[in-house]
Amino acid sequence: MEARLLTILILVLAFAAITIGTQVIRRRRNAFPVRAIRAYEALIPMVGAAIEANRPVHMSAGSAGLGGESTVLALANAELFYRVAQQAAIGATSPYITTSDTTALPLAYDTLRRAYQSRGRIQNYRSNSVRWYPAGPRSLAFAALLTTSLGVNNVHSNVLVGSFGPELALIAEAAARRDQALIAASDQLEGQAVAYAMSDQPLIGEEIFAAGAYLGDEASYRAALVTQDLLRWLLIVGLVVSALASVNPDVREFLGNLLGTLAGGR
Amino acid sequence: MGRLLAVLATAIAIGFGLFTLFGLVTDHPVLAGPTQFFLQLVSITIAVTIIIGIFNLLTVHGGRVRRRGPGWGYSLILVISTLLIILLTILERAGVLNSSPALTTILLEQVQVAIESSLAGLLLFALVYGAYRTLRKRVSGWGLLFIVVLLVMLAGALPLANLAPVAALRDWLMTVPVSAGARGILLGIALATVVTGIRVLIGQDRSYRE
């Protein structure tokens, strides 16, 4: 199948599933129950503990920013940070967001501002709670600055979800040395491996994008999650069928005939 | 009025987003020109955000120095370094400093890169600590599997003849399970990216409403 046609098919399918799913879930709240993700279950108590300790929550998206390949990841992170900041906004100490990509700065400012506004505490919002640290050639300068920042700001908990490489190990090690809680995930494989090994509760792969569905109760976020699962199952079926077709000539012939019929030929 | 502006901003964002998406997916000649123009606008906007970044850096750390907040000494060094580099760059561009290679290049290559390389060396210790932490905090089947695989990978990398079977096992691990797992994670992220992107494009993101 032509790649462009496949892209359009996936986009249309995703669009239809989200639209229909949102309407179904609005009518029947429990139509699609979601499995438990321990990291999201631990997140709110973690923020509560930070408020009680009167210490800040640190959130970082690493090098995820707008305008590039990580645009959607940055938007998904913004939703996660919004939920965390919304919980932390009732405390006396402001949570803060760090980023190594300047394009994420406006998004981070807006996320924190909206979180405080939703709690009716906009007067407590401080623009210096969003901090940019330059990444350096391999993001190690950013990691080094964060290791210092964790101690200087007496951080209680860290939510490091975004785009990190192996330099995440330095930040996670600094957090562990200071006995700070850590939830981490990355869209980069090296960063994800480090996050799995070193965080208290790891998030893996696409779970980064599910924050809205787990931490909120809006139908559209849950519909997106259901669509994600639907596409994943379709992909699994596609992979299994193509594997079978590669080893079995009968399956290959059957699929060829089926695709030919669908395309209107033969 | 504020509500009207929000609706207008949302309509513009969704309109531009859908237009660009159609332009990129269909590659239609009528849409190609405007699509490229929109993408160029993004590049210009990204350049502007660098100025926002420098402003953020100076205000956050300048404020800490003024308040004598915790770690203000580090902030002072950061502010001075930033201003010094900006000044040097201006002087180089104005032709006042003509050293070859440029002073800013020397600072970047001799200071920044050297420090980053030494930090890269520290990564190994942080990773070993991570492995230790995995076992200490979660003695689970997956944790043990992680440690066993890590040991096999490290042992397989040793240039010893007696460890040839371990090296073969390492190669198999890299080719089959590691590769499959990595692709699985990347495919999952790709699907989630598509779905989240569609949700944003059809105006279901929270930032449109607040």
Residues B68 and A121: their CA atoms lie apart, in Å, by: 26
**In-domain check, residue B103:** no
Chain A interface mutation, best of B45, B81, B174, B191, highest count of A Cβ atoms under 10 Å: B191
Count structural domains, chain B. 2
**In-domain check, residue B165:** yes
SS3 A264: coil
Query: What residue spans define the domains of chain A?
Result: 3-29+220-262, 38-216
Pull the structure tokens for residue B150.
């890590």
**How many other CB atoms sit within 10 Å of the CB of residue A175?**
25
**In-domain check, residue B18:** yes
Chosen domain end from B72, B98, B124 = B98
Examine the domain organization and report whether B5 and B86 are in the same domain: yes
Q: Residues A123-152, buried b or exposed e (16+ Cβ, 10 A)? A: eebeeebbbbbbbbebbbbbbbbbbebbee
Pull the structure tokens for residue A220.
């559209």
What pLDDT, on the 0 to 100 scale, is given for residue A266?
Answer: 47
Secondary structure letter of residue A28 according to DSSP: -
Nearest to A164, CA basis, from A261, A86, A81, A98: A98
Examine the domain organization and report whether B1 and B91 are in the same domain: yes
Residues A244 and B170: their CA atoms lie apart, in Å, by: 28
- Report cis status (omega within 30 of 0) of the bond before B101: yes
**In-domain check, residue B116:** no
**In-domain check, residue B111:** no
Measured in angstroms, the CA of B28 and the nearest CA of chain A are apart by 12
The answer, yes or no, to whether residue B58 has pLDDT greater than 50, is: yes
Secondary structure letter of residue A95 according to DSSP: P
Closest CB to A205 among B52, B185, B210 = B185
Pull the structure tokens for residue A171.
């930040």
Place of tokens 């460890």: B163
Measured in angstroms, the CA of A24 and the nearest CA of chain B are apart by 15
Chain A interface mutation, best of B26, B195, B204, highest count of A Cβ atoms under 10 Å: B195
What pLDDT, on the 0 to 100 scale, is given for residue A264?
Answer: 66
Residues A125 and A147: their CA atoms lie apart, in Å, by: 24
Inter-helix orientation angle B2-26/B29-67, to 10°: 130
* Cβ neighbours of residue A99 closer than 8 Å, sequence gap 6 or more: A60, A61, A62, A63, A64, A65, A105, A108, A130, A131, A132, A133
Q: Which amino acid is at B75?
A: S
* Cβ neighbours of residue A10 closer than 8 Å, sequence gap 6 or more: A231, B194
Chosen domain end from B50, B71, B98 = B98
Does B198 contact A14 at a Cβ distance shorter than 8 Å? yes
Examine the domain organization and report whether B8 and B58 are in the same domain: yes
Q: Using one digit for the tens of pLDDT, what is the confidence trace for B125-179?
A: 888 877 777 677 666 777 777 777 777 877 777 777 777 788 888 888 888 888 8
Examine the domain organization and report whether B73 and B148 are in the same domain: no
Examine the domain organization and report whether B89 and B33 are in the same domain: yes
Place of tokens 């998904």: A76
Cβ-Cβ contacts under 8 Å, A14 against chain B: 194-195, 198
Does B60 contact A128 at a Cβ distance shorter than 8 Å? yes
Q: In this structure, which CATH number among 2.60.40, 2.30.30, 3.90.1170, 3.40.50 belongs to the domain A38-216?
A: 3.40.50
Examine the domain organization and report whether B3 and B61 are in the same domain: yes
**In-domain check, residue B107:** no
**In-domain check, residue B202:** yes
How much of chain B, in percent, has pLDDT values that exceed 70? 98
Examine the domain organization and report whether B93 and B6 are in the same domain: yes
Examine the domain organization and report whether B94 and B143 are in the same domain: no
- Ramachandran class of A85: left when φ > 0, alpha when ψ lies in -120 to 50, beta otherwise: alpha
Q: Between A and B, how many CB-CB pairs are < 8 A? A: 181
Place of tokens 């060094």: B77
Host domain of residue B143: 138-210
Chosen domain end from B45, B73, B98 = B98
Specify the pTM.
0.88
pLDDT tens, N- to C-terminus, chain A (266 residues): 577 788 888 888 888 888 888 888 888 877 778 888 899 999 999 999 999 999 999 999 999 998 888 899 999 999 999 999 999 999 999 999 999 999 999 999 999 999 999 999 999 998 889 999 988 667 788 898 899 899 989 999 999 999 999 889 999 989 988 999 999 999 998 899 889 888 888 888 889 999 988 888 788 888 888 888 888 898 899 888 888 888 888 888 888 888 778 766 54
Q: Cβ(A111)–Cβ(A85) under 8 Å?
A: yes
| Pairing status of strand A57-62 against strand A96-99 | parallel
The CA distances from residue A43 to A46, A147, B94, in Å, are 5, 21, 52
Q: Cβ(B82)–Cβ(B50) under 8 Å?
A: no
**In-domain check, residue B7:** yes
Residues A110 and A115: their CA atoms lie apart, in Å, by: 8
| Pairing status of strand A96-99 against strand A157-163 | unpaired
